[in-house]
Structure 1
C-alpha cells in the first residue's frame, strides 16, 4: 500500500509539473504573441502615419501644379501686364507666398515685388542646372530666414523658362507633420539633401538620436519624402506588456487547470494499466514448481510483468494492488489466460503438470471467473491441471462457494496464496476447503534465523498435513531451506534456488535443460 501511495504521489507530482509547465508556456506564448501583435501594431501605425502625411502633401501640391499650368500663358509677357493676374492667382492659393515668372533664364516678374532681374540658374542652380522640381530653402526677402519650399514648373526641357512658386512650407509642416506620441516623436520633410523638422525652423539634414529608429516613405508624384523618428517598436511593445500581464496570467492559470483536469486519468497508473492491456505491454512470466522429493518440475505459476514504454519496468507490488482497487484485476487475469492458452502447445501436455494462476476474490463475483474460463480456458481442452490461487489480501469470505464448487466440478483446484501473512483465519480452511496452501516467502526466509516465524511455519505445515492439504513453499533460495522444508514434508518448492521467473516462451528450453537425473 505504501508503494502504491508513493506511485500515486509521483503521478500527482508529475501532473502538477506538466500543468505548471503548460501554464508557464501559455504565459510566455501569450506575452510573446501580445508583444508581436503590439510591435506590428506600432509599426503599422508609423507606416500609416507616414503614408497619410505623403497623401496630405500630395493633395497640397496638386492644386499648385494646376495653377502653374494655368499660368504658363503669362510667361514671356511684360511684367506690368501680368502682375495683377499673378496677384489674383496668389490670393486663390493660400499656401503660396509668391509666384515668379522665369523667361530665358531671367526671373523677371514677381507677384510681390513686380519687375525683377535675377539670373535663375545662378540663384537656384539646383532647379535650373540639376533639373530638380523642388527645393527647400530659406526666404531671403519677405520673411528672412523662414523655411520656404520652391516648386518649379518648367515650360521647356532646358529649364530656362517656367513658373516658380514659393510655398509657405513652415505653416504647412506645422499642420501636416505633427507627431503622434509615443510611436512618432519627430517627423521630417525631406527634399534632396535638405530636411525640415516639425517645430524646427532650420533647414538642415535631420539625424536620429541614439535611442531612435527611423522609417521613411516617399511620394510617387513629387520629389519629397517623409522620415519618422521614434522609439523602437520592440521597446514600446515591451513597455506595453505589463498591461497584458493580467490577461496572460488568467489564460495561463486556466490552461494549467485544464491540463490538470485532462491528465487526471491519463496521468494515473490505473489509466496506464488499461492502456497497457490494450497495447499488450504486459508479459506473462512463469516460475517452475519443483517436486520436493523427486526434484522434477511438476508445474508453473504464472506471473505478470509490465514494461511500460512511458515508465519502464513497473513492479507487480505496485500495479497489482492498484489494479485490484480500480477493478482492473479481472482484465489482467483474462490477459494472462489468453496468453497461456496461446502457449499451451509449448507446455507439457500432462494431467500431472500444474498451471497456477492468481485470481482475485472480486473475480468470483457474479461467476465472472467461470464465464472467463468457459470462454478462454476450457475451449482449448488443456491437458495440464489448472490451479486458481487466491491471495489473502483479498476478502476471502466474499468468494462465492457455489463458484468454488463449480470450479472443482470442472477439475480446477483452489489454492490460498501467501497463507499466514494477510487476513489469516483458520475459518478460511473450513469455508473454502482449499486443495493447496502456499507458504509465504517471509516464513521460508525465517528458517534457521527467526525462531518465532519458523515456529509458525512448522505449525502451518503440520496443520496442512492434518487437513490433507498440499503445501507449496515460496521463496526458497538456499539449499538449507530446501532441505528443511523437504524434511518437514512440504510437497512443492518454488524459488530462486531452482529458477527465477522467466518469460513463458522460455520455459520449454529451461525444462529441457533442468530435468533431474533419471527424470522424464
Structure 2
C-alpha cells in the first residue's frame, strides 16, 4: 500500500508540476503580451502625435504658400504702391508678422516699416545661397529676441527676388506642440540645424536627458521635422504591468486548473496501464513450480511485470489492483495468454507440465475467460495442462460459478490463489470445487517463527488433504520451510529458494540447467 501511495503521489506531483509550469508560462506570456501590446500602443501614440502635429503645421503653412504664390506679382513694384496691399494681405494671415519683398537681392519693402534697403543674400545666406525655404531666426525689429520662422518663396531660380514671410512660430508651436503626457514630455520644431522647443523661446539645439528617448518625424511637403522626447516606451509599459497582474494571474490559475483536470486521466496509473499495453511495456515472467516429492520442475506460474520508462519497474501489487478497479485486468490477462501461446514451442509439450495463469474474478463475468481461451489458447493446440488461478481481490459472484463448471468440463484446472487471505472462504471449497489451493506466502514465512500462522498453515494442509485437493506453497525461501512443507505432504513448492521469477523466454535455458535435488 505504501508503494502504491508513492506511485500515485508521484503522478499527482507530476500533474501539479505540469499544471504549475503551464500556469507560470501563461502568466509570463500574458504579461509579456500585455507589455508588448502596451509598448506598441505607446509608440503608436508618439507616432500619432508627431503625424498630427506635422499635418497641423502643413495646414498652417499651406495658405501662406498659396498667398505668397499669389503675391509674387507685386515683387518689383514700388513699395509705396504695394505696401497697403501687403497690409491687407497681412490682416488675413494671423500667424504672419510681416511680409517682405525682395528684388535684385535686396529687401526693398516691408509691410510694417515700408521701404527698406537690406542686402538679402548677406543677411539670410541660408535662403539666398543654400536654397532653403525655411529658416528659424530671431526677430530683431518688431518683438526683439522673439523666435520667428522665415518662409521664403522665390520668384526666380537664382533666389534674387521673391517674398519673405516672417511667421510667429512661437505662437504656432505653443498651440500645435503641446506635449501629451506621459509618452510625450517634450516636443521640438526643427528647421535645418535649428530647433524650437515647446515652452522655450530660445532657438537652440536640444538633446534628450538620460531617461528620455527621441522620436523624429519629417514633413513630406515642407522642410521641417518634429522631434519628440519622452520616457522609453518599454519603461512606461513596465509601469502598467502591476495593473495587469490580477487578470493575468486569474487567467494563469484558470489554465493551470484546466491542465490539472486534463491530465487527470493521462497522468494516472490507469491511463499508463492502457498506454503500456499498446507500447509493449509489459513482459511475461514465470516462476517454476517444483515437485516436493521429486524436486523436478512440473510447471510454471505466469507473472506479469511492468517496466514503465517514465516510472521504472512498477510492482504488481501496485498496478494489478488498479487494473482490476479500472476494468483493465482482462486486457492484461489476454496479453499474458497471447505471449504464452507465442512461447509454447519452447515449453515442455507434455500433459504433466502445468502452466498457471492468474485470472481475476471479474474476468469470469459473462463467460469472458471462456471466450478468451477459445479464441487465444485452444487454437494453438497446447499440450501442457492449463491451470487458472482465481485471485481473491474481488469476491466471485455466484452467477459466474457456472463458468467454473465449464472450465472443468474443457479440461482446465482451477486453483484458488492466496487461500486464507482476501475474500476466500471455506464456502469456495464447496461451490467452486477447486483442483488446487495455493498457500499464501505469509503463512509460509511464518514457519518456525509464528506459532499461530504455522497452525493455520497446518489446518489448511490437513483440510486440502481431506478434500483431495492439491497444494502449492508460495514464498518458499529457506531449506527449513521446504522441509517442513514436504514433510506435511504439500505437493508443489514455489519460491526464491528454487528460482526467482524470470522472463518467459529464459525459462527453457533454466530448465535445461535445473538439477532435481531432495537435499532441501
TM-score, structure 2 normalization:
0.94
C-alpha separation in 2, matches of 1:301 and 1:194: 99
Task: Tell me the equivalent position of 2:111.
Answer: 111
Q: Is the 8 A contact 2:360 2:392 kept in 1?
A: no
Q: Please list every run of 5 or more consecutive structure 1 residues that lacks an aligned counterpart in the other structure.
A: none
Task: Tell me the equivalent position of 1:75.
Answer: 75
Closer/same/farther in 2, CA of residues 339 and 63 from structure 1, 3 Å limit: same
C-alpha separation in 2, matches of 1:294 and 1:58: 113
**Mean CA deviation greater in 26-35 or 403-412:** 26-35
User: Secondary structure at 2:135's aligned position in 1?
Assistant: strand
* Pairing 1:234–2:244 present: no
Task: Tell me the equivalent position of 2:432.
Answer: 432
Task: Tell me the equivalent position of 2:495.
Answer: 495
User: Secondary structure at 2:184's aligned position in 1?
Assistant: coil
Matches within 5 A, 1:35-54: 35-54=35-54
**Mean CA deviation greater in 485-494 or 172-181:** 485-494
Q: Is the 8 A contact 1:270 1:326 kept in 2?
A: yes
C-alpha separation in 2, matches of 1:398 and 1:512: 43
User: Secondary structure at 2:170's aligned position in 1?
Assistant: helix
Q: Deviations over 1:129-152 (max 9, x none)?
A: 333221111211111122110112
Deviation at 1:429, TM superposition (A): 1.9
Q: Is the 8 A contact 1:397 1:431 kept in 2?
A: no
Task: Tell me the equivalent position of 1:329.
Answer: 329
RMSD: 2.0
C-alpha separation in 2, matches of 1:155 and 1:346: 112
Deviation at 1:227, TM superposition (A): 0.7
Task: Tell me the equivalent position of 1:377.
Answer: 377
Matches within 5 A, 1:98-247: 98-247=98-247
Deviation at 1:399, TM superposition (A): 6.8
Q: Is the 8 A contact 2:295 2:516 kept in 1?
A: yes
Task: Tell me the equivalent position of 2:452.
Answer: 452
Q: Is the 8 A contact 2:447 2:481 kept in 1?
A: yes
Q: Is the 8 A contact 1:386 1:413 kept in 2?
A: yes
* Pairing 1:260–2:260 present: yes
Deviation at 1:72, TM superposition (A): 2.2
Task: Tell me the equivalent position of 1:59.
Answer: 59
Task: Tell me the equivalent position of 2:422.
Answer: 422
C-alpha separation in 1, matches of 2:312 and 2:23: 27
Q: Please list every run of 5 or more consecutive structure 2 residues that lacks an aligned counterpart in the other structure.
A: none
C-alpha separation in 1, matches of 2:52 and 2:226: 10
C-alpha separation in 1, matches of 2:4 and 2:478: 30
Task: Tell me the equivalent position of 1:345.
Answer: 345
C-alpha separation in 1, matches of 2:333 and 2:53: 81
C-alpha separation in 2, matches of 1:456 and 1:144: 122
C-alpha separation in 2, matches of 1:491 and 1:504: 23
C-alpha separation in 2, matches of 1:502 and 1:48: 78
Deviation at 1:408, TM superposition (A): 0.6
Q: Deviations over 1:292-328 (max 9, x none)?
A: 2322221111111112233222111111111111222
C-alpha separation in 2, matches of 1:61 and 1:513: 108
C-alpha separation in 2, matches of 1:382 and 1:41: 78
C-alpha separation in 2, matches of 1:17 and 1:399: 46
Task: Tell me the equivalent position of 2:310.
Answer: 310
Task: Tell me the equivalent position of 1:354.
Answer: 354
User: Secondary structure at 2:102's aligned position in 1?
Assistant: strand
Q: Is the 8 A contact 2:401 2:432 kept in 1?
A: yes
Deviation at 1:198, TM superposition (A): 1.4
Q: How many residues align?
A: 518
Q: Is the 8 A contact 2:362 2:396 kept in 1?
A: no
Task: Tell me the equivalent position of 2:483.
Answer: 483
User: Secondary structure at 1:55's aligned position in 2?
Assistant: helix
Q: Is the 8 A contact 1:362 1:399 kept in 2?
A: no
Deviation at 1:2, TM superposition (A): 4.7
Deviation at 1:241, TM superposition (A): 1.9
**Mean CA deviation greater in 240-249 or 195-204:** 240-249
Deviation at 1:260, TM superposition (A): 2.1
TM-score, structure 1 normalization:
0.94
Deviation at 1:216, TM superposition (A): 0.7
C-alpha separation in 1, matches of 2:156 and 2:344: 109
C-alpha separation in 1, matches of 2:43 and 2:397: 78
* Pairing 1:511–2:497 present: no
C-alpha separation in 1, matches of 2:13 and 2:231: 45
User: Secondary structure at 1:400's aligned position in 2?
Assistant: helix
Deviating beyond 6 angstroms after TM superposition, the runs of 4 or more aligned structure 1 residues are none
Q: Is the 8 A contact 1:346 1:508 kept in 2?
A: yes
